[in-house]
Amino acid sequence: MTRRTVHLAVYDTYADWETGHTTAHLTQNGYTVKTVGLNTDPVTTMGGVRIQPDLALADLDPADSALLILTGADLWDTGDELAPFAAAARTFLDAGVPIAAICGATAGLAREGLLDDRPHTSAVSFYLDATGYKGGEHYVDTDAVTDGNLITAGPTEPVAFAREVFARLGVYKGEKLDAWYRLFHDSDPSAFEILNS
């Protein structure tokens, strides 16, 4: 049986705009999105939206998930509060379950050592260099990168981030994946017909 639940990490200062395309289109294509917090206490996003996590991080099992999504947040750069999410990403990767990290979450993965030996991207290379990680030679200056089960993207690329998630999970393929990206990234109206054919 195919796992159809995607887990979205939520925490205070979570950058809510970075995953809107991803979660909306996953839900429209038969996935269930469940939110995961450090605990089940409500969190407040950067946009001021209060979210009640569906489950606590301690109860998250990669065997129950198709993907773990980690978003940016001010907290990634102000201390170690979110380090348990980076550790969870390691557990997911070790179990062969994909993770997708955007914006500040890439710095969390860098601190965890998950970007030391694989292609990745982020906001800019020197942002990750400041973490002291050893993966600078694997940094790719592009909108989003998929390396096996690891997807990374910078903060200005929520559409490219979604595209990589959809490709990895097989939500859209080939011409439809390209059409989805052209529609939402380039506002190409001709892509709408292809996407909905």
Q: Indicate the burial class of 7 (C-beta count within 10 angstroms; 0-12, 13-18, 19 or more).
A: buried
Q: Which residues are catalytic?
A: 103
Using CA atoms of 184, 149, 54, 11 in order, give the dihedral in degrees to the nearest 10.
-80
The DSSP result for 98-138, as a single string, is -EEEETHHHHHHHHTTTTTTS-B--S-HHHHHTTT-S-GGG
Q: Is 32 helix (H, G, I), strand (E, B) or coil?
A: strand
With residues binned 3-state (H G I as helix, E B as strand, rest as coil), the percentages for the chain, rounded to 5, are 40, 20, 40
* C-alpha of 3 from chain center: 17
The DSSP secondary-structure symbol of 81 reads T
